[in-house]
Homo-oligomer: A and B are copies of this chain.
Amino acid sequence: MTTPTTVAHSFARDLVLLSGGMDSSTLLAEAAQTGTARLAVSIDYGQRHVREIAAAVVVAVHYGVELVALDLTGWGSRLTGSALTDPNVEVPHGHYADESMRATVVPNRNATLLSAAAGVAQARGCDRVLTAVHAGDHPIYPDCRPEFIAAIARATELATDGAVTIAAPFTHQTKTDIARLAGKLGVPIALTWSCYEGGDAHCGQCGTCIERREALRDAGVPDPTAYAVVPA
């Protein structure tokens, strides 16, 4: 396990793509501490767990960073076949690396969300969009892999005449690395939301609940989450 890299200082005005989960909240925490965080953007694309946006609002307030919530539900409603946007597809239970988790892939999600965020960044004078994709996402989600991030960063730089780029500081880190950083930075983990089911409490059984629980345990960071069913 390696230590997460520090957010680079060469960029002065960061926009953090904030889902409201533990990973992006930790990224916001680091950018806020470094002094580069200017704006957070949360996107409602019709995800089953839209409740995460309420968490994002609370986390952004915690760090004193302005949050812009974008409504892309007109797009997400067209994405049939994904468990996160199609009410007819069930959320699979298991580990992130499990084949069953492929049902949670949202077609071209990160390119769309990052591009939309980059447009807001340019309009608002931010020069970098930060995303919290990490190594644990790579097996199942092609739009979390380093080569995708490099490609979309290049496309963004070209589209904005160099005004905006995209970076993923956690891309080679595990979720346990991020949990350790969250503990070190004092991230208010209880305020963040992970569960894909999007109920009143974390279900404790979906892939993201299991990963959250395991990462905090392995990092030796207390887990304040009230799970409906405590993951094994």
Judge whether A111 and B107 touch: CB under 8 Å.
no
- Take A108-B164, A119-B108, A120-B79 as given contacts and tell me if A147 and B158 are in contact as well, using a CB distance cutoff of 8 Å: yes
Residues from chain B with a CB closer than 8 A to the CB of A173 are: none
- Within 8 Å by CB of A74, from B72, B151, B155, B156, lies B72
Judge whether A123 and B151 touch: CB under 8 Å.
no
Closest to A154 in B: B151
A80 within 8 A of B: yes
How far is B111's CA from A164's CA once the two chains are assembled, in angstroms? 13
Residues from chain B with a CB closer than 8 A to the CB of A78 are: 68, 70, 119-120, 123
Judge whether A79 and B148 touch: CB under 8 Å.
no
Judge whether A119 and B123 touch: CB under 8 Å.
no
Closest to A161 in B: B142
A110 within 8 A of B: yes
Chain A positions 109-161 with a Cβ under 8 Å from a chain B Cβ: 109-112, 115-116, 118-124, 142-143, 145, 147-148, 151-152, 154-156, 158-161
Interface residues on A, range: 35 or more
Provide the main secondary structure of the chain A interface.
Answer: helix
Residues from chain B with a CB closer than 8 A to the CB of A108 are: 115-116, 118-119, 122, 156, 159-160, 164
- Within 8 Å by CB of A151, from B75, B155, B164, lies B155
Chain A positions 59-86 with a Cβ under 8 Å from a chain B Cβ: 68, 70-75, 78-82
Residues from chain B with a CB closer than 8 A to the CB of A56 are: none
A106 within 8 A of B: yes
- Within 8 Å by CB of A72, from B75, B80, B151, B152, lies B75
- Residues on A facing B (Cβ under 8 Å): 44, 68, 70-75, 78-82, 106-112, 115-116, 118-124, 142-143, 145, 147-148, 151-152, 154-156, 158-161, 164
5 closest Cβ pairs, A-B complex: A71-B74, A108-B119, A107-B122, A151-B155, A143-B159
